[in-house]
Amino acid sequence: MKSISIKGSKRESVGKVATKALRNAGMVPCVIYGGETPIHFSAEEKAFKNLVYTPNVYTASLNVDGQKINAVLQDIQFHPVKDSILHVDFYQLFDDKEITMNIPVKLTGTSPGVLNGGSLRFTNRKLKVKALPANLPDFVSADISKLKIGHKLVIKSLINEDYTFMHPDNTVVVQVRTSRNATAAEDEEDEEVEATEEGATATE
């Protein structure tokens, strides 16, 4: 998984007055959990742009006064009116300890069912995955090139040795449902084509 670098400084004071002063200076108060003790630090709000305002998922490479810590975004608080970042919580990563994250699903291929007028229902755009940090994927690939009308893709068909899905095997990820514009399923079309060809041969 790709990582976003964020540079910060440890906070000497974590009181309300000091926190307000940080925010007024364009800084964001942060806490890193998961280690022996929580680490309080602050970083410029603009440093979070590529980590927060994106549909992708990244780990964070934190540099706090020269101390490098790999972590994931655990929680974030926004101002209710200004939409500015008020506070960020991170969870420290360890090479030998599995972590659970919501990973986006990326659809590949073209569904024949959709080409026939079916409606694509993308039920789960993110999936909860558990893995060692080194095995966390940037996205989960879901091939829909064989999905006909009425067919669906479930977790069981996406199983990967590098990570574990925290969902039942029969959880639907994406499916193609019949719509008013649907013409017919591919196998029905094939039958119609064959029937037409036989009729033409008989006429001759």
Q: Same structural domain for residues 84 and 33? A: yes
Q: pLDDT value at position 182?
A: 59
How large is the average pLDDT for residues 91-108? 95
Residue 148 has pLDDT above 50, yes or no: yes
Residue 112 has pLDDT above 80, yes or no: yes
Angle, CA 77 vertex, CA 84 and CA 74 arms, to 5°: 130
Lowest mean pLDDT among 48-57, 145-154, 163-172: 48-57
pLDDT bracket for residue 128 (50, 70, 90): very high
- Domain assignment present for residue 18? The answer is yes
**What is the predicted pLDDT for the residue at 188?**
52
* Structural domain ending residue among the three candidates 51, 76, 93: 93
> Is 194 domain-assigned?
no
* Same domain (yes/no): 13, 77: yes
Of 21-35, 95-109, 180-194, least confident by mean pLDDT is: 180-194
Q: Give residue 148's domain range.
A: 100-187
Query: Residue 112 belongs to a domain with what CATH number?
Result: 2.170.120.20
118 with 171, same domain? yes
**Phi then psi for 61, rounded to 5 degrees?**
-100, 100
What local confidence, expressed as pLDDT, does residue 183 receive?
Answer: 52
DSSP code for 149: T
Number of domains in the chain: 2
- Is position 202 within any domain? no
Range scoring the smallest mean pLDDT among 86-95, 117-126, 145-154, 191-200: 191-200
The one-letter amino acid code at 37 reads T
My answer on whether 75 and 149 are in the same domain is: no
Residue 30 lies in a domain: yes
On whether both 155 and 119 belong to a single domain, the answer is: yes
190 vs 56: CA distance, rounded Å: 40
Rounded Cα gap, residues 11 and 23, in angstroms: 13
Instruction: Using CB atoms within 10 Å of the CB of residue 84, give its burial: 0 to 12 exposed, 13 to 18 middle, 19+ buried.
Output: exposed
Contact 4, 71 (CB under 8 A): no
Whether 168 shows a pLDDT value over 70: the answer reads yes
The three-point CA angle 182-104-77 to 5° equals 125
- Collapsing DSSP to helix, strand or coil, 70 comes out as strand
How many other C-beta atoms can be found within 10 angstroms of the C-beta atom of residue 90? Answer: 25
Query: Residue 106 — very low, low, confident or very high, per pLDDT cuts 50/70/90?
Result: very high
My answer on whether 84 and 19 are in the same domain is: yes
Q: If you average pLDDT over residues 123-151, what whole number do you get?
A: 95
Q: What is the pLDDT of residues 38-88, one digit of tens each?
A: 999 999 999 998 898 888 889 999 999 999 999 999 999 998 988 889 999
| Element housing 177 (H / E) | strand 172-177
The pLDDT value given to residue 202 = 44
